[in-house]
Amino acid sequence: MATNPNDPPLDEIQWRSPPILAQMGGLHSNTILFYFAESPFFERTSNNAVIMSQAMNNMSMYHFIQTREAFEGRLKTMSGLEFVVGEEPAETGPGMGTGVWVIRKQTRRKRYQDDDDIVLHALFFVVGENIYMAPALADIMASRIVRFPKRGFSPA
């Protein structure tokens, strides 16, 4: 996360790392969350980071990082901050996809004998090798209000 006051807000930056992506063997279902974890949008205190760290240091947990399904399945057993794939690239034709992934930053709270309570904090888009944070609705509205022309107003 950007902690330096001179850094631009996260929803105003684009991040990419072709060398990291090449090292991972390209972007696909089993690498998308690990590629995202290299970005400044990722939070090192998330459950994703906990699972990755545990799997790298405990071979009995290594299978959780082998596939996205296993990884996200493990996340669903935990409470706390997590990053999950919200949408995969849509098929636009045979063998052709949009190349757009949607990553959800959310907090999961376990509830006894009930569905988990999930609070969405942010959305991120991965387009090709580029990662963007979706702007908050409040930011969009504030931007529109500032640009709204004032009729009948003339400064004296």
Region at 14 (left for phi over 0; alpha for psi -120 to 50; beta for the rest): beta
What pLDDT does residue 139 have?
A: 67
What's the pTM value of the predicted model, to 2 decimals? 0.81
What pLDDT does residue 65 have?
A: 94
What pLDDT does residue 138 have?
A: 66
What pLDDT does residue 10 have?
A: 83
* Residue boundaries of the structural domains of the chain: 10-147
What pLDDT does residue 115 have?
A: 92
Q: How far apart are the first and last CA of the chain?
A: 44
For the chain of 156 residues, list the mean pLDDT of each consecutive stretch of 10.
73 91 92 96 96 94 95 96 94 72 96 93 94 81 62 57
In the CATH scheme, what is the code of domain 10-147? 3.10.450.580
What pLDDT does residue 150 have?
A: 58
